[in-house]
Amino acid sequence: MIGRLSGTLLEKAPPQVLLDVQGVGYELEAPMSTIFALPAEGQAVVLHTHMVVREDAQLLYGFASREERTMFRELLRITGIGAKMALAVLSTMSTSELFSVIEAGDDDRLTRVPGIGKKTAQRVLLEMRGRLSRFEQLGPAGSSASGGAASQDRAEAQDALQALGYSAAEARKLVGKVDASVSGAQDVIRLALQAAAR
């Protein structure tokens, strides 16, 4: 998997960008929020990426922040939401706006996204509401630098635990057992696994 690329921005042709990484040109699709945040062509850039391997294609998606990538991945887990629709959502609103929309249950705001009807909007709200705690750092409460970093560490720890086979609920519970003063995703994971072994 390619999780991050650092290189020189060669082209911006929304929704695609071309990034030169030590002589290799990577084509990525990105939401408009990321494209607007990119520097001028010829400048250095770092993008967090999500790779999709299909029978007929290998697709790479780029994001200006981990938060955007996290929200993109959460959207992909919803039935009926593909990569293009997830990009459309993130092109229409920021991650914190989407967090607020989900928290408020504002399906009208979601139906303004091209391709999302009332039923799809309600499904997004229903499925995402149950997972809000996984990306609390994206909401307004996670805006402070230290609080956001701590929330990010915990979100990364939950992702890692899920990759190890724990369910989302189990991962959340294990991370919740780790003292709030613990910082660093690796330390949170280590202590959560110790808690699981007890």
Per-residue pLDDT at 141: 40
- CA angle 113/5/89 to nearest 5° reads 5
Per-residue pLDDT at 147: 45
CATH 1.10.8 in the chain: give the residue spans: 149-197
Q: Which fold has domain 4-63?
A: OB fold (Dihydrolipoamide Acetyltransferase, E2P) (2.40.50)
Nearest-angstrom CA–CA distance, 137 and 185: 14
The tens digit of pLDDT for each residue in 81-98 reads 999 999 999 998 888 888
Per-residue pLDDT at 162: 74
Q: Which fold has domain 67-137?
A: DNA polymerase; domain 1 (1.10.150)
Q: Smallest Cα–Cα separation from 161: which of 198, 192, 183?
A: 192
Going from the C-alpha of 50 to that of each of 30, 90, 106, 158, the distances in angstroms are 10, 14, 27, 18
Mean pLDDT of the residues in the chain: 84
- Give me the percent of the chain exceeding a pLDDT of 90: 40
pLDDT of 198 strictly over 80 = no
User: Phi and psi for 83 in degrees, rounded to 5?
Assistant: -60, -40
Mean pLDDT of 37-43: 93
The tens digit of pLDDT for each residue in 44-63 reads 999 999 999 889 989 999 99
User: Phi and psi for 30 in degrees, rounded to 5?
Assistant: -145, 150
Q: How many Cβ atoms are within 10 Å of 106's Cβ, its own excluded?
A: 14
DSSP string, 72-102: HHHHHTSTT--HHHHHHHHHHS-HHHHHHHH
CATH 2.40.50.140 in the chain: give the residue spans: 4-63
CATH 1.10.150.20 in the chain: give the residue spans: 67-137
Per-residue pLDDT at 142: 41
Per-residue pLDDT at 132: 67
Going from the C-alpha of 92 to that of each of 31, 80, 97, 116, 165, the distances in angstroms are 9, 18, 10, 12, 33
Residue matched to tokens 């030590």: 22
The tens digit of pLDDT for each residue in 110-138 reads 998 888 999 999 999 988 887 766 555 55
Considering the domain delimited by 149-197, tell me its CATH architecture. Answer: Orthogonal Bundle (1.10)
Per-residue pLDDT at 115: 87
Q: Residue 145's pLDDT band (boundaries 50, 70, 90)? A: very low
Q: Cβ(16)–Cβ(47) under 8 Å?
A: no
The tens digit of pLDDT for each residue in 146-172 reads 345 566 677 777 777 777 777 777 877
Per-residue pLDDT at 21: 96
Q: Cβ(71)–Cβ(138) under 8 Å?
A: yes
3-class SS at 38? coil
Mean pLDDT of 172-177: 83
